[in-house]
Structure 1
Amino acid sequence: MISAQDWSDAQLLWDFQQMHHEPRPCSVGIGLGSHDLGVADVTVDLYQRGMFPLIVFTGATSRTTEGRMPRGEAEHYRERAIELGVPASAILIEPNARNTGENIQFSRDLLAERGVDASSVLLVSKPYEERRAYATTRKLWPEVEVISASAPMTLSEYVDSIQDPRLVLDMLVGAQQRLLIYPEHGFMISQEIPEPVIAAYDRLRAEGFTSRIVPTG
């Protein structure tokens, strides 16, 4: 049972985890691999609006995606983009990354290998991963300007699209935990987190929304 307080706390996390950046033209768009083909759709929309001339799709498979994306997240994203009208020549794929840090590092290295001078990147992720993607890129690729983007959805719309409310709350809690603990490991920059957000996170953890947290020893 998900209570009214749980939903209120989830909304606080959802709002904080989005960066609320206004998309603008960048050197390259990077679509971060996941279970959600909507990331590819948003990347295509931004490409077709002239926000970047080149797309990198990055991602291998995970336990969440190995069944539905057997050829790898990046490859399935690429296929989706081509279906939607993006020329294959405008897409690079990075098929090996298995976490956000590798998404950024491997995409950076691929662009360097191809001689692409990227001074700015428009990161496309799931809505609740915007801040994590931003913070990770600022740490691992500090010389580029970073804009975060995702599907313009409300929390309730995202829950409807996933059809698993508890999983969505678990994912919100997992994303928030990483924002709290990853800076000390050097995985992302540290960011100020408002006390109401921390309190909401603590309450949701106490209520058992913990399937996506990482062990902390």
Structure 2
Amino acid sequence: MITVDDWADAEVLWDYQHMGQAVEPCSIAIGLGSHDLGVADVAARLYLAGTVPLLVFTGATSATTRERMPRGEAEHYRQRAVALGVPPRVILVEPEARNTGENIRLSRALLEREGVDVRSALLVCKPYEERRAYATAQKLWPEVQWRCTSSTESLREYVDRVGDARLVLDMLVGAHQRVLFYPAKGFAVEQRVPEAVNASFERLCRAGFSSRLLPSAPVS
């Protein structure tokens, strides 16, 4: 059961993850693979609005997506974007990445092979992973000017669309743990985290929203 207090703490983490960066024209947009086809929807809108001239979709499959996206996350994203009116010729697919770091590294390698000059990039991700994605990209490809964006749904609207509140809250908690833990591992840049946000994270951990936590990372 998800209590009123659990929802309140989840809202705190949700709000923290949203960086509120302005969407500006960039060299490319990179859609980070996941269970959420809404990422492809946002990327398609960016292209159709003239914000970016090229889309990269990156992602293999995971335990969460293996059944619902059997052809791979990036390929399902590509199909969704084409259905929304994006020309196939402006979409690159990177089908091997299995985590955010690989999303960035393998997308970079693909773009270099294709001879694409990337000076600025829009990361498109799930709403509860903006900070994690941004911090990873800044660490692994610092030469690029990064911005991060996602859908504009509220937490409740997002949960209603995904249809699995427990999954969303577990992933939200896992994403925040990685914001805290990954800089020390060299996977991401440091970000300021208010005490109130960490307090909400710790309460959700104690309440059992722990299926996406890293087993080797301490939680106070």
Aligned length: 217
Paired residue for 1:74? 74
Residue type matched to 2:48 in 1?
A: Q
Paired residue for 2:177? 177
Where does 1:1-217 land on structure 2 (aligned, <5 Å)? Answer: 1-216=1-216
Residue type matched to 2:128 in 1?
A: Y
Partners of 1:159 and 1:86 in 2: CA distance: 27
Partners of 1:161 and 1:84 in 2: CA distance: 18
With normalisation by structure 2, the TM-score equals 0.97
Partners of 1:147 and 1:40 in 2: CA distance: 17
Partners of 1:215 and 1:81 in 2: CA distance: 36
Residue type matched to 2:91 in 1?
A: I
Partners of 1:71 and 1:2 in 2: CA distance: 33
- CA-to-partner distance for each residue in 1:22-48, whole Å, 9 max, x for gaps? 111000010000011111011000111
Residue pair 2:27, 2:52 contacting (<8 A) in 1 also: yes
- Gaps of at least 5 residues in structure 1 are none
- CA-to-partner distance for each residue in 1:34-70, whole Å, 9 max, x for gaps? 0111110110001111111000000001111111111
Q: Secondary structure at the match of 1:208?
A: coil
CA-CA distance at 1:3 after TM superposition: 1.6
- CA-to-partner distance for each residue in 1:174-204, whole Å, 9 max, x for gaps? 0010001011101100111000000000011
Residue type matched to 1:72 in 2?
A: G
Partners of 1:51 and 1:164 in 2: CA distance: 32
Partners of 1:128 and 1:208 in 2: CA distance: 18
Task: Tell me the C-alpha RMSD between the 2 structures.
Answer: 0.9
Partners of 1:124 and 1:168 in 2: CA distance: 17
What percent of counterpart residues are identical?
A: 62
Partners of 2:66 and 2:5 in 1: CA distance: 34
Dislocated runs of 4+, deviation >6 Å: none
Partners of 2:113 and 2:89 in 1: CA distance: 16
- CA-to-partner distance for each residue in 1:126-167, whole Å, 9 max, x for gaps? 100111110000000001011101111001101111222222
With normalisation by structure 1, the TM-score equals 0.98
CA-CA distance at 1:2 after TM superposition: 1.6
Partners of 1:132 and 1:117 in 2: CA distance: 24
Q: Secondary structure at the match of 1:29?
A: strand
- Gaps of at least 5 residues in structure 2 are none
